[in-house]
Amino acid sequence: MSAPVRVIGAGPAGLMAAETLAGRGHRVVVHDRMPSVARKFLMAGRGGLNLTHAEGLEDRARFLSRYGDRSAAIAPWLSRFGSAALMAWAEGLGQPLFTGSSGRVFPRAMKASPLLRAWLARLKDQGVEVRTRSNWLGWRGPDLAFETPSGETVEPAAAVILAMGGASWPRLGSDGAWAEPIGGQGVSLVPFLPSNMGVDVAWSEVLTDRFAGQALKPVVLSHDGQTVRGEVILTRYGLEGGAIYALSAHLRDAIRAEGATTLTMDLRPDLTVEALAARLARPRGKDSVTNFLRKAGGLSATAIAVLREIGEPPPGAEKLARRIKGVRLRLSGVQGLDRAISSAGGVPFAEVDAALMLRARPGVFVAGEMLDWEAPTGGYLLTACMASGVVAGEGAADWLGSSPAADGAEV
């Protein structure tokens, strides 16, 4: 029997590559070093699995813009397997979907586990073998070495898909340890950086003791010409949440370059300065400042606490309105890889061809967060991860169809 295609990493990108290859008639074995598969995928879906975003159906240019300076490289992935294809795929697994008011698309079950169970059942029916506790160690000549509960094994492969994730959430399996064997093949790597991470703000003890864990929504965040509307969550170290994650790359890079940066927050984005000033011009009467801001300004206790972090509210309705709509927060740092949702860095696009095959190692393909790109949460990150798995799987199938490996030779 000829050697199988081996997929290293049983996250969304790896499983999608396996399904793609199996659909093209190839024997596939998936290896993962953890005791169970897709742990990060399951964790991400604990509060509602955000599969993709309706922008991918309605405004492709805007959807692509979420990938920043990697949008041109990722565009072919999404042309092959974009939001519409991902939604059809999920529904084909018996998972009906809905689109929320924010445009984010979720399974109606609001969990990752039912979808994953159905997916694994389909892969089993396709003949895909999944081996857990199978930790890839690198190459032994043309073959692959794995550490298993039974000891080290060396296995042949007709082709290889590497989909081991980036370097965030190491306790779930993505620790970037693959960098050493990959780098040993002459592949130049980009250092890992946190992405979709929280940012550091030097809050007072009063704010952290009373409001850590509280959400502010909606707010509009602005930084260096970038503007995002959404939700933020106050933490003891600073801020996190979807709106922060959408700006995380810009904030991280500015802090790395300058040591700190300033983020502007609009606490009442649905009112103009003039409309808010008109509300604040009414007599305060016997109300305390806090009650007045709550009643006239429509601010929550959490918003008032943030407003007061930068000084007492100024006198005068217009000045106060401008302060509410332009709270300036100094960001002194970002959370590290161990607390980040995802990472940037890894294998640069210059090291792979259009099919995501390593130029330095023909027959070896790379997918998912191992590649040097990033995207915000909200469906953008997961969509591109799964699309890259499709592209790598098809690339491997095409390569096998035109290479000696198709007749059982090893890579």
Same-domain status, 122 and 258? no
- Cα separation, 144 vs 196, in Å, equals 33
Is the pLDDT at 405 greater than 90, yes or no? no
CB 170 within 8 A of CB 179: no
Rounded to the nearest 10 degrees, the angle between the axes of helix 273-280 and helix 317-324 is 130
Alpha-carbon torsion, ordered 192, 198, 202, 204, to 10 deg: -150
Same-domain status, 46 and 190? yes
Boundary residue ending a domain (282, 306, 334)? 334
| pLDDT, tens only, 181-225 | 999 999 999 999 999 999 999 999 999 999 999 999 999 999 999
Same-domain status, 150 and 208? no
Give which of 307, 344, 335 is closest to 323, Cα–Cα.
307
Boundary residue ending a domain (304, 334, 364)? 334
Mean pLDDT in residue range 311-325? 95
Same-domain status, 254 and 319? yes
Contacts of 288 (CB under 8 A, 6+ apart): none
Same-domain status, 264 and 388? no
CATH number where 19 lies: 3.50.50.60
- Cα separation, 346 vs 386, in Å, equals 17
Same-domain status, 146 and 206? no
Mean per-residue pLDDT over the chain, rounded:
94
Q: What's the number of CA atoms in the CB half-sphere (13 Å) around residue 355?
A: 17
Number of separate domains in the chain = 2
Contacts of 378 (CB under 8 A, 6+ apart): 50, 53, 66, 102, 104, 242, 245, 246
Same-domain status, 50 and 182? yes
| pLDDT, tens only, 109-168 | 998 999 999 999 999 999 999 999 999 999 999 999 999 999 999 999 999 999 999 998
Same-domain status, 185 and 210? no
DSSP 248: H
- Cα separation, 58 vs 34, in Å, equals 38
Cis peptide before 314 (omega within 30 of 0): no
Alpha-carbon torsion, ordered 67, 71, 75, 81, to 10 deg: -10
Boundary residue ending a domain (310, 334, 358)? 334
> Does residue 284 or residue 403 have the better pLDDT?
284
Residue 135 CA: distances (Å) to CA of 54, 104, 174, 178: 37, 35, 12, 10
> Does residue 410 or residue 268 have the better pLDDT?
268
Q: Looking at residue 402, what is its pLDDT?
A: 62
Q: Looking at residue 44, what is its pLDDT?
A: 79
Mean pLDDT in residue range 299-319? 95
User: Residue 182: what residue type?
Assistant: I
| pLDDT, tens only, 29-57 | 999 999 999 998 998 767 789 999 999 99
Same-domain status, 150 and 250? no
Give which of 249, 135, 137 is closest to 184, Cα–Cα.
137
Tell me if the pTM is above 0.75: yes
Q: Are strands 199-200 and 5-8 parallel, antiparallel or unpaired?
A: unpaired
Is the pLDDT at 4 greater than 80, yes or no? yes
Give which of 169, 266, 156, 171 is closest to 221, Cα–Cα.
266
Is the pLDDT at 406 greater than 80, yes or no? no
Q: Looking at residue 346, what is its pLDDT?
A: 97
* Residue 346: domain span: 5-194+342-407
Give which of 68, 66, 64, 62 is closest to 253, Cα–Cα.
68
Residue 173 buriedness (CB in 10 A; 0-12 / 13-18 / 19+): buried
Mean pLDDT in residue range 393-407? 78
**What share of the chain in percent tops pLDDT 90?**
91
Bridge partner residues of 107 (DSSP): 97
Among 53-57, 153-157, 362-366, 402-406, the range scoring the smallest mean pLDDT is 402-406
Interior angle at CA 302, CA 298 and CA 306, nearest 5: 100
Q: Looking at residue 403, what is its pLDDT?
A: 55
Same-domain status, 10 and 128? yes
Question: Per residue in 336-358, is it b (16+ CB within 10 Å) or e — as a string?
Answer: ebeebbbbbbbbebebbeebbbb
CB 18 within 8 A of CB 38: no
Same-domain status, 299 and 356? no
pLDDT-based confidence at 409, cuts 50/70/90?
very low
Mean pLDDT in residue range 99-106? 94
Q: What's the number of CA atoms in the CB half-sphere (13 Å) around residue 369?
A: 33
Residue 190 CA: distances (Å) to CA of 183, 348, 351, 359, 370: 10, 7, 11, 16, 10
Same-domain status, 42 and 169? yes
